[in-house]
Structure 1
Amino acid sequence: MIAGIDAAAMLARIARWCAINTGTGNLSGLGVLSKELAAALALLPGSVRCVDGASTPYIDVEGREMERQFGQHLLLSVRPGANRRVLLTGHMDTVFPVDHPFQTLRWLDAGTLNGPGVADMKGGIAVMLAALAAFETTPRASQIGYDVLLNSDEEVGSPSSAPLIAELAAGKLAALTFEPAALPDGTLAGERAGSGNYCVIIHGKSAHAGRNPQDGRNAIVAAAALVLALKALEGAGISVNPARIDGGSANNVVPDLAVVRFNIRPQTSADADDFERELEHLIATIAADHDVTIHRHGGLSRPPKPMDPPAQRLFELVRDCGAALGQDIRWQRSGGVCDGNNIAACGVPVVDTLGVRGGAIHSPDEYLIVASLAERAALSALILSRLSDGAMS
């Protein structure tokens, strides 16, 4: 059985880390936390290094392509020469920017802590590190190696770290990711839908809204038609969320620019491919009907994650480990996405909700159930031990 897990020490780490704002765009805050986490990773065997996040393009409200910078990513590599190796991932960033009012911790009751990132996922990082420290005390630890990646851009789809995730996933036996449990009772996320973020730039022609509106080409009207048509593409295999329209100017000017942003959630890769074909046809139709030009950016960033046979084996291993610890482990389909989607797309089985029990993530009501710290760390340590004994080989 796994020993040496100190829940009080884990809680102290979480409190210290959550006092540091690490909204994805707060590069200075991410830098501060990165140093804290690098020191914690250095207590494990292996080597720690920082990896610069690649800049990625984005479209601003004026339809211009700009470059977005991201924080550094942390990487720990342990026993790189081992025949069997595992990938563990977590993320440093949160959805709460530096000017968001939700910045402090408070106790909801004696066993429930509210605060930014307590569940998603500074609590998960604490679980991961405690599990690894406990695992390293076991006799079989030397039988496997592992990489740990803590990235800084997960909350915006991992555009900077996706190539690094793919590189690290290659050849791995399995992967463990420490997003919070799908439900407060500890239920895991099994199959996941995919996710794609798109930006469509519509250029029309400006004119005076009273004197010669017929000479204008209204980009806002074209954008509205596009949004309604996108929503009509929804079906059993895909959902579409039009999220934002930018553009326009004074009331007496026919607007010549609109920028439409939307997200899709396909259930399967075939659904994503079907949507791409429909989108191309739709853009051509809207452009012709409204006499505007349309340029699209973006696409699928998180492929759907199916429950294939290797994934089923890993989930069953997790369930068996839970049973050995008196934990009832279940899983269910989720519409949410995470780095587990990207790992699964590399052909590596992954369980991606091994973090804390809690809930209300991405809101000021986010909470952590403190009792889950020790139980989830013990679960992951036992999973690692079973993998070192040859499970999944």
Structure 2
Amino acid sequence: MIRPRALACGLLLALSAGPCFGAQPAASEQRLRHAIDADQPHAIALLERLVNQNSGSLNLPGVKAVGDMVRAELEPLGFDVRWIDMQATGRAGHLVATHKGNGRGKRILLIGHLDTVFEPDSPFQRFVRNGDSATGPGIGDDKGGVVIIVSALRAMHAAGTLRDADIQVVLTGDEESAGAPLDAARADLVAAGKWADVALEYEELIVDGGQDYATVARRGVADWELTATGLTGHSSGVFGDALGYGANYELARILDAFRRELPEPNLTFNVGLMVGGTPATLEPGGARGTAAGKTNIIAERAVARGDLRALTPEQEARARARMQAIVAQHLPKTGATLVFDDAYPPMAPTTGNRAVLSALNQVNADFGLPAMREWDPARRGAADSSFVAADADVLAGLGAAGSGSHAEGETVDLASIPRQALRSAALIGRLARTPR
């Protein structure tokens, strides 16, 4: 990890004798810009090939085919590339590529994903270019990010800055719909995070009002399922000593108490689906439910499913404990249970993460690029970078700029690809020269 004492001068400028702001890039770094500019036809052609190969999370051969395309890009650069089959989790697998450097600099992990939300039955299947923008399924999330990784590494190879760098690239094949069990689906990524000092994640770049933003924090996500039970019988007995309040009132009590008692900054708790009656059930996975009943029957069972998003592990633990305490305060003749299903851990805004952003902004200053600000984590979703945040310093959102993610018409700004590739190539090179 990068330590706070390195913050004083933009972190990595301890490597050079230059000033903290606007230092002249080394000759090898100057070559990065020329290499990236010259590589753009290759980068855009690769993006088109990746986008035109459907790789919906459930299209296992398609995800593997995209992995093979990336393998063909990385092996000539000296990477040892492995395909980790994950069909036991119901998904295709992950691509892990390792470049062995001199072992003296920071170990750097680059994170992206091969899959998209668009399955083969989607009508949105092809890359279409329109001047400096292009549309296509997954073009920004995350095939544009994958192209930026490849373009940066190709430039480093051409400029001679890749040779001594210790790098792992992990491209998951199920970021949009993780395999199960989750521990198995993310075991290889977690292991890479334990190896790394710094992790860079290539989900979409946020651009707002002409300003580029980086991500130093992401909220974690845990799904929850609340089940309330009651005694059923004729509605004339509701609220009475014999039958009590029924499951629907117990469910309503709990959810309303969540609304009133839980709110705090950066914490949200959504109720996505609820059913109640005699009987009432949610299908496995909690995406659909059924209920039956009559106006004169007290509900026997009620179920709700939602998610909890927290910025830090401490905040999540505090919210869970309060939710369980609320659940335990049952109405007469009712019961309730609350079960959590972990999804993404929180990526807290640490000093180390901000140090990496400081280092990136030194790159921006040296190359005459705009400085990048921190993006509000409450306005960003979860991603795979959260799985390594406990072990490495993380900077996220380094992919391509665009709009319409997860929807037909998803668009990427092609001009953002060389800008992001240059930022990454210079930052990775500097990290690789920073002693561990």
Q: Which runs of 5+ in 2 are unaligned?
A: 1-29, 275-281, 283-288
Q: 2:389 aligns with which of 344, 350, 355?
A: 344
Distance in 1, matches of 2:198 and 2:409, equals: 33
Please tell me whether the aligned partners of residues 231 and 241 of structure 1 are also in contact (alpha carbons under 8 angstroms): no
Which structure 2 residues correspond to residues 177-196 of structure 1 after superposition, within 5 A?
A: 177-183=201-207, 185=210, 187-196=212-221
Q: 1:167 aligns with which of 174, 191, 194?
A: 191
Whole-angstrom distance in 2 between the partners of 1:189 and 1:261: 32
Which AA in structure 2 matches 1:382? A
Pair member with larger Rg: 2
2:35 alignment counterpart: 4
Alpha carbon RMSD of aligned pairs, Å? 3.0
CA distance in 2, matches of 1:207, 1:21: 50
Cα distance change, pair 41–141 in 1 and its aligned pair in 2 (3 A): closer
Cα distance in 1, alignment partners of residues 383 and 204 from structure 2: 11
The whole-number CA distance in structure 1 between the counterparts of 2:332 and 2:78 is 63
State, as a whole percentage, how many aligned pairs show the same letter: 22
After the TM superposition, which residues 1-393 of structure 1 pair with which residues of structure 2 at under 5 Å, given as runs? 1=30, 2=32, 3-5=34-36, 6-53=39-86, 69-79=90-100, 82-84=103-105, 85-107=107-129, 109-156=130-177, 159=182, 160-183=184-207, 185=210, 187-202=212-227, 204=229, 219-232=247-260, 233-245=262-274, 246=282, 247-252=289-294, 256-286=300-330, 289=332, 291-299=334-342, 301-308=344-351, 310-332=352-374, 333-335=376-378, 336=380, 337-346=382-391, 348-390=392-434, 393=436
For the residues of structure 2 that align with 1:312 and 1:295, how far apart are their CA atoms? 36
Task: Answer yes or no: is the 8 Å Cα contact 1:178–1:354 preserved in 2.
Answer: yes
The alignment partner of 1:192 has SS state of coil
Separation of aligned partners in 2, 1:290 and 1:95 = 44
**Conservation of the 8 A alpha-carbon contact between 1:51 and 1:73:** yes
What is the TM-score with the length of structure 2 in the denominator?
0.76
Judge conservation of contact 2:74–2:97 (CA < 8 Å) in 1.
Answer: yes
Query: 1: CA distance between counterparts of 2:150 and 2:56?
Result: 22
Q: TM-score, normalised by structure 1?
A: 0.84
Number of residue pairs matched by the alignment: 376
CA distance in 2, matches of 1:231, 1:155: 29
Query: Is this contact kept in 2: 1:189–1:334, CA < 8 A?
Result: no
Q: Deviations over 1:262-291 (max 9, x none)?
A: 2222233322121011121122225x5562
Counterparts of 2:221 and 2:309, CA distance in 1: 7
Higher relative helix content: 2
The separation in 2 between residues aligned to 1:150 and 1:51, in whole angstroms, is 10
Measure the CA separation in 1 of the matches of 2:155 and 2:405: 28
